[in-house]
Structure 1
């Protein structure tokens, strides 16, 4: 399996934690759907962002802020999540100690998404992240079970124990108790069985540490004006997207002399193809701009490579093709005989995931033949940056891959 990241990713400690966390989630949710031995399946993640956009004046051209406050190239995923989720705190609709509890009242899955998406920023210990990834399995299996039992009900009916809780620490503790023993069967069906408790996740390095981190973020966020928090997050996302796209298009090069990003991603796909076992599929999960890079690579730069399963998420491949920005784009299509671009022979199965709340996610099925568009309804303001840190994303994609196209 190969993860190809999207815009705004740069090397560093937080990137490494996120990358490790995403690999862990893929191993416990996604790989069991496509591999008989998910624990030993190699997972690769090329870091192409360091070869992408580097603003020479540290984004001084972005309006509405001074140079000193610019910091890094983009806002952190965890900050995007927190800034979007904590508006209720700023407007006095809840206290910092009850942020998750307020979200859970509307939908427990929203609270779970925030909790697990914030983990890489809150918890630096890889062992704790590993335990949390396994806990995510039991939590998601519990949520899916309750959804199946009460398909039309709200959180109050599905989880009546929420009414007795007073704060977020109690929510996390009770959630772990209620989800104890839940797991997914090999076919993806949730079930419950007797299982040993995992008391270590309740310690200072586990999910409760994330609750404390969220509270500190909430207190800080509540003391800042709305525009000072939302404007930087939105403008950083747009800046990162524009910068990395423009640099890639400018420097992608030719087949004879490919650019640095093409070389980095291509070398990683070569390594993944070399390390896969007999009969194992080569799976590529490409987020945002990563999907455009992979498509360009498979259709022009490296048509000798073949991917069995391509999952593009929050990506713009369909829109790029509408604008005919790929080397392989044919201006004559669409026409009466070819209403869509044929599925590239280098791609076995292509699943494209979009969230209607994600302004950077585009459909692919109306443009490419044989592509499966799948809508994931998070309803979250952080949809574009939050996909790959949410256990629910992996669980839903795994279910899609288990079913026939």
Structure 2
């Protein structure tokens, strides 16, 4: 068996991409594949982002604070930074969501990345143990210590002590993870992030999405002469040993569906797993090579070479779309990442990998 991962928008060559790829692969190996019952599975990650064109002026066309305002100099929207929900409030609703939020906000150095991915299975085991012991109970029953903490730092301190008790931790792992989690908790300010940096992040990602979509559709080529991106991804899937699991994020799902439905219908995939993807929207707009504009509305048959299709949607992700109303036989699942910019949060969170691994195991059974 082989896991083929096809990335989404904005994955240009450089240190940021390499760091994210290492972290993602480590979570695949330590959480997702063991949960799927396939711990030694090879992983292939074709990098199609290196084939796209860079914006000539480095996205200088995005709005920024240096632009002269049309109205008053006092922008009231920028004042919305006084209060925001705390991490502890989130934890009292769901400790799992609070942990995933911390992982999403981490900015680790390379050596810390190894520590965090090594410890991800420990976190998953801790959460699963409490969920199985108290399956229908509120969080304060599952985790009685929540009643003893009063702010985000106390929450992090107690959480780390519960997961990595001093007498059981290895080589000070709990101390270092505590420092990383504290730094992440201080960045947990949803209101400020949305009003300020979050707005710029969304704009940049939207611009890269538009750029990648337009470049892909313009340069994808024909079945007889496919473009570079199609050819690269096709080779990765073709060379993968069966059974094949293809996990595609965002625009990656669109590329893989186009590939399997039109360019390479001879390639068989046992599990096609799309995450935060736009496949459903693209088919509604008849943008695929196999789309049939003008036909009477009705569900599109599942491609004959796809055995199982699992689609994951975060309700807070503006770039994720359902597929089950559009494609017969495809299944949608909701996963709330609780992240400010949800589109890139899925693959950073250990809980996501654990749950997806379980779905893969069910599909392959």
- The verdict on a shared fold, with TM-score over 0.5 as the criterion, is yes
SS at match of 2:257: helix
CA change 1:124–1:170 in 2 (3 A) is farther
**Aligned pair partner of 2:181 in 211, 230, 239:** 211
Q: Structure 1 residue 350: deviation in Å?
A: 0.8
1:102-181 alignment runs, 5 A limit: 102-119=89-106, 121-125=107-111, 128-165=112-149, 170-179=154-163
Give the distance between the partners of 1:203 and 1:157, measured in 2 at CA. Answer: 26
Give the distance between the partners of 1:164 and 1:177, measured in 2 at CA. Answer: 13
**Aligned pair partner of 2:244 in 250, 274, 282:** 282
Give the distance between the partners of 2:151 and 2:171, measured in 1 at CA. Answer: 20
CA change 1:215–1:364 in 2 (3 A) is closer
Q: Structure 1 residue 18: deviation in Å?
A: 1.4
1:195-344 alignment runs, 5 A limit: 197-204=169-176, 207-214=177-184, 217=187, 227-271=195-239, 273=240, 276=241, 280-331=242-293, 333-334=295-296, 339-344=298-303
Which residue in the other structure is 1:188 paired with? none
SS at match of 2:43: coil
TM-score (norm 2): 0.84
Question: 1:238-288: CA deviations, max 9, x gaps?
Answer: 2121111111111111223222221222222233x1xx3xxx521111011
Asked if 2 retains the 8 angstrom alpha-carbon contact of 1:132 and 1:201, the reply is no
SS at match of 2:119: helix
Which residue in the other structure is 1:49 paired with? 49
Give the distance between the partners of 1:200 and 1:319, measured in 2 at CA. Answer: 48
Asked if 2 retains the 8 angstrom alpha-carbon contact of 1:334 and 1:340, the reply is no
Structure 2 unmatched ranges of 5 or more: 68-77
Q: Structure 1 residue 21: deviation in Å?
A: 1.3
Q: Structure 1 residue 59: deviation in Å?
A: 1.8
SS at match of 1:312: strand
With a CA cutoff of 8 Å and minimum separation of 6, indicate the structure with the bigger relative contact order: 2
Asked if 1 retains the 8 angstrom alpha-carbon contact of 2:252 and 2:277, the reply is yes
Asked if 2 retains the 8 angstrom alpha-carbon contact of 1:5 and 1:287, the reply is yes
TM-score (norm 1): 0.77
CA change 1:400–1:225 in 2 (3 A) is closer
Which residue in the other structure is 2:72 paired with? none
Question: 1:321-351: CA deviations, max 9, x gaps?
Answer: 111111111235445xxx3211112212110
Q: Structure 1 residue 378: deviation in Å?
A: 3.3
Which residue in the other structure is 2:82 paired with? 91
CA change 1:197–1:313 in 2 (3 A) is same
Asked if 2 retains the 8 angstrom alpha-carbon contact of 1:334 and 1:341, the reply is no
SS at match of 2:46: coil
CA change 1:19–1:209 in 2 (3 A) is farther
Asked if 2 retains the 8 angstrom alpha-carbon contact of 1:352 and 1:373, the reply is yes
Which residue in the other structure is 1:17 paired with? 19
What do you get for the CA RMSD once the two structures are aligned? 3.0
Q: Structure 1 residue 199: deviation in Å?
A: 3.8
The alignment of Structure 1 onto Structure 2 pairs a total of residues equal to 350
Is 306-315 or 155-164 further displaced after alignment? 155-164
Q: Structure 1 residue 320: deviation in Å?
A: 0.6
CA change 1:178–1:325 in 2 (3 A) is same
Give the distance between the partners of 2:279 and 2:84, measured in 1 at CA. Answer: 40
Q: Structure 1 residue 107: deviation in Å?
A: 2.5
CA change 1:226–1:254 in 2 (3 A) is closer
Which residue in the other structure is 1:350 paired with? 309
Asked if 1 retains the 8 angstrom alpha-carbon contact of 2:302 and 2:327, the reply is yes
Give the distance between the partners of 1:225 and 1:397, measured in 2 at CA. Answer: 28
Structure 1 unmatched ranges of 5 or more: 68-86, 182-194
Give the distance between the partners of 1:163 and 1:47, measured in 2 at CA. Answer: 47
Q: Structure 1 residue 31: deviation in Å?
A: 1.5
